[in-house]
């Protein structure tokens, strides 16, 4: 995999103006080149937009490692690694500095649908092909020509592919996407050795969990997960579920919160939602920057505003209409759209500070 340096693309700072409607906002052009600039939010937020580099398309997952942000562009590759309409068979990882200056890039065969950071190992954790024919990769940016390392899964037993990859208490957890049955693993732990990523189940699609909201809150139910997708670690400043591992079962409209995940003391809670969501992220401090990928407009945004420490923000994926940003109420599962940012069709999310 070769590393290519990209030229600086100036950020587009968006002036303050009136708020937009909750989930649609003024339409952006759908013919010809799409503009990376959304309609202007009000004075509560400042948005900087960064366009794709050198023909990349479909920004999805986003992660921070050190003082850089990394964005995975899927380039139209299919969920099992099928070539795009233009014949592309590889995704691109693009590096940005915290001010949005483009850096190096790496090409990985397949469709990247999961990307997390391993600060201890100074590497990115990458999964490809969420529906099947899946594999695992690491990218160590400081390793030069040897930056990308490919792994073959051992123990992939749920019949589908893999999606989100995150580090939780020193362990690599990978979500088991597109299951073919109802009793297989929903979440794996990965152990890397040589060129093998050995997987062991953390909990199953039909695990027992305590209902965290609704009229039967506090009672135990059997999960029936069909769509394990994104994941994250809930920070200690969160008002609820602090330090839990969060798995989003997107099509089931549920967040699974695992306390002490992967240990004998593991306990699961399930928070039911009124709509399907994709990425969910938490501000660990007040006034952090929210980075957002928007594949509909082929752009990445850095949003600064009045985010509060512990606040949870998600990308809602309704059955009809564009995706949008919303705040998550962890007490009752309600979703409150952020109307000032409605023109951003959110996908991957990342909260981060300036250093």
* pLDDT value, residue 26: 30
**Rounded CA gap, 324 and 38, in Å?**
12
Name the nearest CA neighbour of 290 among 344, 233, 237: 344
- Residue where the block lists tokens 């693009």: 94
Identify the burial level of 234 via C-beta atoms within 10 angstroms of its C-beta, where 0-12 means exposed, 13-18 middle and 19 or more buried.
Answer: buried
Residues near 93 by beta carbon (within 8 Å), at least 6 away in sequence: 70, 71, 72, 73, 105, 106, 107, 108, 112, 115, 124, 126, 139
- Between the alpha carbon of residue 175 and those of residues 161, 220, 255, 285, the distances in Å are 9, 23, 13, 27
Residue 207 confidence (pLDDT) above 90: yes
**Rounded CA gap, 68 and 49, in Å?**
16
Over residues 99-141, the pLDDT tens digits come to 999 999 999 999 999 999 999 999 999 999 999 999 999 999 9
Identify the burial level of 4 via C-beta atoms within 10 angstroms of its C-beta, where 0-12 means exposed, 13-18 middle and 19 or more buried.
Answer: middle
* pLDDT value, residue 39: 39
Q: Which residues pair with 174 in a beta bridge?
A: 165, 188
Tell me, yes or no, whether 129 lies in a domain: yes
Residue 34 confidence (pLDDT) above 70: no
Residue 247 confidence (pLDDT) above 70: yes
> What's the token pair of residue 355?
């250093």
Q: What is the DSSP letter of 110?
A: B
**Helix or strand or coil: residue 240?**
coil
Half-sphere exposure of 20 (CA within 13 A, CB side): 22
- Residue where the block lists tokens 């968006």: 14
Over residues 222-244, the pLDDT tens digits come to 999 999 999 999 999 999 999 99
Tell me, yes or no, whether 243 lies in a domain: yes
Tell me, yes or no, whether 213 lies in a domain: yes
Tell me, yes or no, whether 134 lies in a domain: yes
Tell me, yes or no, whether 32 lies in a domain: no
Tell me, yes or no, whether 100 lies in a domain: yes
- Based on the structure, what is the number of domains in the chain? 1
Q: Assign 3 a pLDDT band (cuts: 50, 70, 90).
A: very low
Domain range enclosing 311? 48-353
Identify the CATH number of the domain in which residue 280 sits: 2.120.10.30
**Rounded CA gap, 3 and 217, in Å?**
51
**Rounded CA gap, 245 and 267, in Å?**
10
Tell me, yes or no, whether 199 lies in a domain: yes
Residue 355 confidence (pLDDT) above 60: yes
Tell me, yes or no, whether 38 lies in a domain: no
Q: Which residues pair with 128 in a beta bridge?
A: 112, 135
Residues near 157 by beta carbon (within 8 Å), at least 6 away in sequence: 184, 185, 199, 201
> What's the token pair of residue 8?
């600086």
**Rounded CA gap, 108 and 123, in Å?**
15
**Rounded CA gap, 97 and 185, in Å?**
36
């Amino acid at each position: 995999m070769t590393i290519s340096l990209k030229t600086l693309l100036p950020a587009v700072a968006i002036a303050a103006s009136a708020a937009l409607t909750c989930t649609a906002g003024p339409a952006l052009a759908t013919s010809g080149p799409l503009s990376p600039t959304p309609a202007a939010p009000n004075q509560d937020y400042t948005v900087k937009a960064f366009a794709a580099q050198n023909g990349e398309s479909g920004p999805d997952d986003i992660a921070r490692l050190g003082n850089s942000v990394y964005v995975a562009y899927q380039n139209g590759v299919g969920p099992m690694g099928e070539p795009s309409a233009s014949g592309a068979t590889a995704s691109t990882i693009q590096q940005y500095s915290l001010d949005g200056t483009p850096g190096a890039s790496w090409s990985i065969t397949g469709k990247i649908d999961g990307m997390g950071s391993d600060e201890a190992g100074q590497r990115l954790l990458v999964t490809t092909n969420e529906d099947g024919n899946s594999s695992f990769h690491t990218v160590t940016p400081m390793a030069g020509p040897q930056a990308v390392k490919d792994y073959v899964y051992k123990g992939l037993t749920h019949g589908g592919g893999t999606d989100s990859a995150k580090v939780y208490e020193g362990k690599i957890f990978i979500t088991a996407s597109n299951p073919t049955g109802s009793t297989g693993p929903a979440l794996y732990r990965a152990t890397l050795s040589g060129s093998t990523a050995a997987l062991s189940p953390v909990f199953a699609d039909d695990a027992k969990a305590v209902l965290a909201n609704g009229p039967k809150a506090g009672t135990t139910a059997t999960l029936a997960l069909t769509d394990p997708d994104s994941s994250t670690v809930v920070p200690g400043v969160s008002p609820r579920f602090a330090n839990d591992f969060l798995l989003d079962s997107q099509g089931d409209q549920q967040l699974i919160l695992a306390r002490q995940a992967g240990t004998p003391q593991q306990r699961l809670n399930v928070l039911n939602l009124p709509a399907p969501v994709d990425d969910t992220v938490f501000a660990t401090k007040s006034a952090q920057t929210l980075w957002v990928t928007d594949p509909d407009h082929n752009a990445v945004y850095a949003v600064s505003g009045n985010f509060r420490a512990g606040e949870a923000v998600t990308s809602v994926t309704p059955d009809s209409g564009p995706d949008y940003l919303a705040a998550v109420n962890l007490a009752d599962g309600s979703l409150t759209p952020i109307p000032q940012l409605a023109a951003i069709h959110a996908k991957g999310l990342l909260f981060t500070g300036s250093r």
